[in-house]
């Protein structure tokens, strides 16, 4: 059966939502991962450096994360079969991602609530885990989707029959390393873009070294994907992705972080487009036979639902993009270490009441 | 336990946990917006202090609310994939709309509100908190619309081709009569929760200030480190009570009363609707086993098991249940046993006539051997617990309003320690009432994950559009689900403790000192410090 126009539209929209998620959360993850390295604790102003780094994403990271929730909801609404099979099949990786995201949310929000060295260290660990784990596992998950996994069609359900270890294959590991190194670079460039002074210098230097690793690892992944699963037209995407990676190397070395940020953003977009382009018309190909896999036809919702969702997404998404862009505009000023308040954030662990009542 | 039970426990634990935090967020957002509006309108600095003080408590709560909410978005697919596939056509739409219309709004504008004190002008900044309030309320609407579909499916028809329900009208799904009553009930419950919390915090601080003021006058006051009391004279403390705590407390107390009245009205309407649309749930809520004309309302019953043989009604108010069902005293109310027999008969007949869907016909238990009644013990007691716990807020509201009367000695500014302690003990009650209500609603729906629409078969064919819980679960190994259940529970417990300790610490700290200069400035100053930094 041929896909309908709306099914194709929604396949593209899901790709757009995941692109939005990876471009925006990509630098959130990068910032979180780089926190211990750029926010050197040993230096006298180490904690201020860390607060500066966290505050580069301070007002926006929560809105960025919503792209994932909306992508999840949209997947459920438009391709219920895909949603059901993917999240039940990739149970353990998704579970780990969820744990990481939970820990990250509270670590970021609560870090500055209590002014205590140990408390902050624990929160830094939380931010670290919450950034490293998803940065790797999203790549592993998407590489596996493209590669195909054992899925059996038991009418009316598609059931993932592989275990956890099945997900750890060389191609998927390269995929995980790709998202890791791309997000690291993206994050370093974002910090450079949002700060001034010493922090900016340090960040752009870090980005310059990371960009070389990105060129090699992401380049390998793009070419591998193209050779193994690509279509003719996706060669163009590979070319764009490779060019973007080269631009990143150039721009970070010249300390042009604006151009470099555009470069990593395009690299992320090309990667997502290549992955989704290679998949089409499947959404989850099966290694057990071409008739067992999920396609945009056999996993999609009815035309009516797709139509309703198209209207909703068409009307609302532009507004969301506009006000999110506005919030970036509001907080466009570069931050310096001097802008971080001198007093430590949060309250001491000592309870004022206990002093008062003499407990 | 088999994988169905473990998955049910996991969903129950994570959802109840999520809904400890959610009502406070939903209720506190508009309250803070109102506080800030009063400051914006009158320039009265006390309301700015209140806004910032409760804003901090709000953010601490919001963080954990978001964290626990992320899991819910994906748990349908992880643990309930057969269910997800079955209902995706209609269930996914409100979920996606929630993300698009509500989650983006609340998260983006909360960032703007917190970090924007010095970046946005006063009016724009006020608008951001109102948008947060709209966002959190809208998200409740969409998720309740999704839930209501599971209680009372409408706006769908059976698709032979897809072998699952197909949405025919998003308008019907979003205006489901169950949604239209459940939404206000949930929102009012959230307002009651937040209003009670704000009232209790204000009353606690009024008591603390008046006690300290008295001691200062007597020269016996101990040293304190709480900033709002540091170096303050007795007059200044009572001034805080007059300008800050009493007005905010009155606002919260009246809101508690208004929400309580609203809860009573919407709860009564919901009950009547449930007697029609989910008679088994209401029969179970009353442990009414045998049908009766002019049925009585059971106040107390004793039973060790969740079936009809083990229930003894101790105190019954005659004819009250009939009154609850349709506001007449002698109407007939169906009991659990009659409903069970009726469902068995209807399903057997539908099977003979080939009116069951193929997937339904092949499912595990129809028609014989399936218990169509929920756990009577849980439904009976959760229903009573919900109503009883709500009385905690009522005690705070009436006691507080009585003590804050202008005519009282001290002009309603003195709150005795005993009442403050009582109020603090009442603090958990609205949370417990919310949890009990949801446990009743959800466990009363058992054994269904999508309850058949018995009341109006024209809206959705009850013999096809339904799903038993055991048919909705994923093909997971029980070890896998055990792992996630245990880890989620432990992590949530640890975070819950941290949440409580931080909230408690910030309540005890009190608001910023009144000298706090007007925060709003222009943003042309190059070196100005961040007004808020993580």
Q: What is the pLDDT of residue B322?
A: 84
Mutant choice from A35, A50, A84, A336 vs B, greatest count of B C-beta within 10 A: A84
Task: For residues A160-171, give the mean pLDDT.
Answer: 82
Q: What is the pLDDT of residue B521?
A: 47
ipTM of the shown complex: 0.93
Average pLDDT over all residues of chain B: 89
DSSP B83-151: HHHHHHHHHHHHHHHIIIIIIHHHHHHHHHHHH-TTTS-HHHHHHHHHHHHHHHHHHHHHHHHHHHHHH
pLDDT for A115 beyond 70: yes
Q: Structural domain tally of chain B?
A: 1
Task: For residues B257-283, give the mean pLDDT.
Answer: 92
Cβ-defined contact of B104 to A324 (cutoff 8 Å) = yes
A81 in contact with chain B, both atoms CB, cutoff 8 A = yes
- Domain encompassing residue B230: 3-291+334-513
Q: Return the structure tokens found at B524.
A: 């042309």
Residues of A in contact with B212 (CB under 8 A): 356
Q: What is the pLDDT of residue B226?
A: 75
d(CA A56, CA A39): 13
Average pLDDT over all residues of chain A: 91
Task: For residues B25-53, give the mean pLDDT.
Answer: 95
Closest-CA distance of chain B to residue A90, Å: 8
pLDDT for B460 beyond 50: yes
Q: Which residue of A has its CA nearest to B227?
A: A352
Closest-CA distance of chain B to residue A149, Å: 16
Least confident of A217-221, B28-32, B213-217: B213-217
Cβ-defined contact of B88 to A62 (cutoff 8 Å) = no
Q: Residue A36: which residues within 8 A CB-CB, separation 6 or more?
A: A124, A128
In a domain, residue A350? The reply is no
DSSP A306-330: HHHHHHHHHHHHHHHHHHHHHHHHH
Q: What tens digit of pLDDT does each residue of B120-163 get?
A: 999 999 999 999 999 999 999 999 999 999 999 999 998 888 88
Cβ-defined contact of B495 to A102 (cutoff 8 Å) = yes
Cβ-defined contact of B96 to A355 (cutoff 8 Å) = no
Cβ-defined contact of B99 to A54 (cutoff 8 Å) = no
Cβ-defined contact of A106 to B508 (cutoff 8 Å) = no
pLDDT for B520 beyond 60: no
Query: Sorting pLDDT into bands at 50, 70 and 90, what band is A359?
Result: very low
Residues of B in contact with A66 (CB under 8 A): 99, 103-104, 107-108
Q: Is B479 exposed, middle or buried (0-12, 13-18, 19+ CB in 10 A)?
A: exposed
pLDDT for B433 beyond 70: yes
- Chain B segment 447-476 residues within 8 A of A by beta carbon are 474-476
pLDDT for B314 beyond 80: no
Question: Pick from A84, A330, A347: which is nearest to B84 by CB?
Answer: A84
Task: For residues B100-106, give the mean pLDDT.
Answer: 95
Helices B3-42, B45-79: inter-axial angle, 10-degree rounding: 160
Closest-CA distance of chain B to residue A164, Å: 10
Place of tokens 């809101």: B255
Q: What is the pLDDT of residue B311?
A: 74
pLDDT for A216 beyond 60: yes
Q: What is the pLDDT of residue A173?
A: 95
Q: What tens digit of pLDDT does each residue of A247-260 get?
A: 999 999 999 999 99
d(CA B57, CA B65): 12
Question: Pick from A91, A157, A312: which is nearest to B480 by CB?
Answer: A91
Cβ-defined contact of A66 to B107 (cutoff 8 Å) = yes
Q: Residue A252: which residues within 8 A CB-CB, separation 6 or more?
A: A185, A189, A204, A207, A208, A211, A260
Residues of A in contact with B222 (CB under 8 A): 355-358
- Domain encompassing residue A56: 5-209+285-307+325-337
Q: What is the pLDDT of residue A66?
A: 95
pLDDT for B482 beyond 60: yes
Helices B81-97, A61-78: inter-axial angle, 10-degree rounding: 130
Q: What tens digit of pLDDT does each residue of A15-54 get?
A: 999 999 999 999 999 999 999 999 887 777 888 899 999 9
Using only C-alpha atoms, chain B has a radius of gyration, in whole angstroms, of 26
DSSP A120-146: HHHHHHHHHHHHHHHHHHHHHHHHHHH
A347 in contact with chain B, both atoms CB, cutoff 8 A = yes
Q: What is the pLDDT of residue A62?
A: 93
Cβ-defined contact of B88 to A341 (cutoff 8 Å) = no
Q: Return the structure tokens found at A333.
A: 């000023």
Q: What is the pLDDT of residue A245?
A: 95
Q: Is A288 exposed, middle or buried (0-12, 13-18, 19+ CB in 10 A)?
A: middle
pLDDT for B235 beyond 90: no
Query: Sorting pLDDT into bands at 50, 70 and 90, what band is B218?
Result: confident
pLDDT for B305 beyond 90: no
B88 in contact with chain A, both atoms CB, cutoff 8 A = yes
Place of tokens 């991962």: A33
Spacing of C-alpha A231 from chain mean position: 25
B311 strand-pairing partners: B303
A302 in contact with chain B, both atoms CB, cutoff 8 A = yes
Least confident of A195-204, B46-55, B396-405, B454-463: B454-463
A96 in contact with chain B, both atoms CB, cutoff 8 A = no
Task: For residues B10-21, give the mean pLDDT.
Answer: 95
Q: What is the pLDDT of residue A352?
A: 66
Task: For residues B260-280, give the mean pLDDT.
Answer: 92
User: How many interface pairs between A and B have CB atoms less than 8 angstroms apart?
Assistant: 275
In a domain, residue A77? The reply is yes
Which carries the bigger pLDDT value, residue B284 or residue B195? B195
Residues of A in contact with B69 (CB under 8 A): 69
Annotate A25-36 with b (16+ C-beta within 10 A) or e (fewer).
Answer: bbbbbbbbbbbe
Q: How many CB atoms lie within 10 A of CB A197?
A: 13
Q: What is the pLDDT of residue B523?
A: 47
Q: What is the pLDDT of residue A279?
A: 93
Place of tokens 């969820």: A98
Q: Return the structure tokens found at B150.
A: 């599971």
Query: Sorting pLDDT into bands at 50, 70 and 90, what band is A205?
Result: very high
- Give percent of chain A above pLDDT 90: 74
Q: How many CB atoms lie within 10 A of CB B497?
A: 10
Query: Sorting pLDDT into bands at 50, 70 and 90, what band is B364?
Result: low
Question: Pick from B66, B114, B508: which is nearest to A59 by CB?
Answer: B114
pLDDT for B263 beyond 80: yes
B112 in contact with chain A, both atoms CB, cutoff 8 A = yes
Annotate B284-314 with b (16+ C-beta within 10 A) or e (fewer).
Answer: bbbbbbebbebbbbbeebebeebbbeebebe
Q: What is the pLDDT of residue A353?
A: 62
A170 in contact with chain B, both atoms CB, cutoff 8 A = no
Q: What is the pLDDT of residue B331?
A: 83
Q: What tens digit of pLDDT does each residue of B321-331 get?
A: 888 888 888 88
- Give percent of chain B above pLDDT 90: 59
Q: What is the pLDDT of residue B430?
A: 96
Q: Which residue of A has its CA nearest to B93?
A: A77
Cβ-defined contact of B92 to A340 (cutoff 8 Å) = no
Mutant choice from B71, B88, B165, B489 vs A, greatest count of A C-beta within 10 A: B88
Strands, E, within A121-223: which ranges?
Answer: 151-154, 157-160
Cβ-defined contact of B533 to A304 (cutoff 8 Å) = no
Least confident of A271-280, B276-285, B348-357: B348-357
DSSP B217-259: HHT-PPP---TTTTT--HHHHHHHIIIIIHHHHHHHHHHHHHH
Which among B418, B49, B417 has a CA at the least distance from the CA of B248?
B49
d(CA B295, CA B315): 13
Task: For residues B288-315, give the mean pLDDT.
Answer: 77
Residues of A in contact with B506 (CB under 8 A): 113, 347
Spacing of C-alpha B364 from chain mean position: 34
Cβ-defined contact of B96 to A338 (cutoff 8 Å) = no
Which carries the bigger pLDDT value, residue A327 or residue B228? A327
pLDDT for B12 beyond 70: yes
Q: What is the pLDDT of residue B366?
A: 67
Q: Structural domain tally of chain A?
A: 1
Residues of A in contact with B3 (CB under 8 A): none
């Amino acid at each position: 059966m041929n896909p309908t126009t709306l099914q194709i539209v929604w396949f593209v929209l899901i790709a757009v939502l995941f692109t939005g998620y990876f471009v925006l959360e990509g630098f959130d993850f990068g910032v979180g991962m780089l926190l211990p390295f750029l926010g050197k604790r040993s230096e006298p102003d180490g904690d201020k450096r860390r607060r500066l780094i966290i505050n580069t994403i301070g007002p926006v990271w929560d809105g960025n994360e919503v792209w994932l929730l909306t992508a999840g909801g949209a997947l459920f609404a438009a391709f219920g079969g895909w949603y059901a099979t993917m999240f039940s099949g990739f149970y353990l990786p998704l579970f780990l991602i969820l744990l990481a995201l939970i820990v990250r949310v509270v670590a970021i929000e609560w870090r500055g609530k209590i002014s205590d060295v140990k408390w902050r260290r624990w929160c830094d660990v939380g931010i670290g885990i919450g950034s490293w784990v998803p940065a790797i596992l999203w790549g592993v998950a998407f590489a596996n989707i493209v590669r195909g996994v054992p899925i059996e069609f038991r009418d009316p359900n598609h059931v993932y029959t592989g275990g956890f270890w099945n997900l750890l294959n060389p191609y998927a590991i390269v995929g995980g390393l790709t998202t890791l190194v791309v997000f690291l670079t993206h994050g370093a460039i974002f910090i450079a873009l949002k700060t001034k002074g010493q922090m900016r210098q340090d960040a752009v230097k870090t980005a310059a070294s990371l960009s070389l690793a990105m060129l090699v690892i992401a380049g390998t992944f793009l070419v591998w994907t193209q050779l193994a699963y690509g279509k003719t037209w996706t060669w163009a995407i590979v070319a764009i992705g490779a060019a973007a990676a080269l631009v990143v190397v150039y721009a970070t070395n010249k300390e042009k972080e604006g151009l470099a940020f555009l470069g990593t953003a395009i690299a992320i977009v090309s990667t997502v487009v290549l992955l989704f382009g290679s998949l089409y018309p499947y959404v989850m190909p099966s290694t057990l036979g071409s008739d067992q896999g999920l396609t945009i036809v056999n996993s999609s919702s009815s035309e009516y639902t797709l139509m309703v969702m198209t209207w909703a997404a068409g009307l609302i998404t532009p507004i969301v993009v506009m006000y999110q862009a506005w919030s970036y505009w509001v907080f466009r000023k570069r931050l310096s270490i001097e802008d971080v308040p001198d007093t430590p954030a949060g309250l001491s662990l000592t309870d004022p009441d206990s002093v008062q009542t003499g407990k | 336990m088999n994988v169905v039970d473990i998955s049910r426990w996991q969903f129950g634990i994570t959802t109840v946990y999520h809904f400890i935090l959610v009502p406070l967020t939903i209720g506190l957002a508009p309250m803070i917006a109102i506080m800030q509006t009063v400051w914006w309108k009158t320039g009265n600095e006390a309301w700015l202090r209140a806004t910032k003080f409760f804003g901090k408590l709000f953010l601490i709560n919001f963080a954990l609310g978001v964290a626990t909410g992320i899991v819910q978005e994906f748990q349908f697919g992880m643990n309930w994939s057969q269910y997800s596939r079955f209902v995706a056509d209609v269930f996914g739409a409100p979920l996606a709309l929630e993300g698009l219309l509500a989650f983006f709004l609340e998260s983006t504008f909360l960032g703007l509100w917190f970090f924007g004190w010095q970046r946005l002008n006063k009016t724009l900044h006020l608008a951001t908190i109102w948008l947060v309030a709209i966002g959190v309320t809208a998200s409740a609407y969409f998720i309740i619309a999704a839930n209501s579909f599971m209680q009372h499916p409408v706006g769908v028809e059976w698709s032979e081709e897809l072998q699952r329900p197909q949405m025919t009208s998003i308008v019907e799904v979003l205006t489901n009569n169950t949604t239209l009553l459940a939404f206000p009930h949930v929102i009012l419950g959230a307002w009651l929760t937040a209003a009670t919390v704000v009232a209790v915090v204000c009353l606690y601080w009024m008591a603390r200030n008046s006690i300290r003021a008295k001691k200062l006058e007597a020269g016996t006051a101990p040293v304190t480190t709480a900033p709002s009391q540091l170096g303050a004279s007795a007059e200044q403390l009572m001034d805080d009570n007059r300008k800050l705590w009493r007005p905010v407390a009155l606002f919260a107390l009246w809101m508690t009363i208004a929400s309580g009245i609203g809860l009573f009205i919407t709860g009564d309407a919901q009950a009547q609707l449930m007697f029609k649309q989910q008679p088994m749930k209401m029969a179970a809520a009353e442990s009414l086993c045998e049908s009766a004309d002019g049925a009585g309302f059971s106040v107390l019953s004793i039973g060790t098991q969740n079936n009809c043989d083990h229930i003894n009604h101790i105190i019954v108010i005659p004819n009250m249940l009939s009154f609850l069902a349709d506001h007449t005293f002698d109407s007939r109310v169906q009991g659990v046993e009659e409903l069970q027999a009726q469902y068995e008969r209807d399903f057997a007949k539908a099977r003979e006539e080939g009116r069951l869907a193929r997937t339904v016909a092949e499912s595990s238990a129809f028609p014989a051997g399936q218990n169509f009644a929920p756990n009577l013990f849980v439904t009976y007691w959760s229903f009573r617990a919900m109503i009883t716990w709500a009385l905690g807020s009522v005690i705070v509201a009436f006691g507080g309003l009585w003590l804050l009367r202008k005519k009282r000695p001290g002009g309603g500014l003195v709150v005795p320690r005993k009442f403050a302690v009582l109020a603090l003990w009442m603090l958990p009650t609205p949370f417990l009432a919310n949890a009990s209500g949801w446990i009743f609603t959800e466990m009363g729906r058992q054994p269904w994950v999508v309850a058949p629409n018995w009341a109006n078969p024209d809206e959705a064919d009850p013999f096809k559009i339904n799903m038993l819980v055991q048919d909705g679960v994923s093909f997971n190994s029980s070890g896998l689900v055990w792992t996630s259940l245990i880890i989620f529970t432990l992590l949530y417990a640890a975070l819950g403790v941290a949440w409580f300790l931080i909230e408690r610490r910030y309540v005890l700290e009190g608001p910023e000192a009144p000298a706090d200069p007007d925060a709003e400035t222009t943003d042309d100053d190059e070196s100005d410090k961040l007004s808020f930094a993580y």
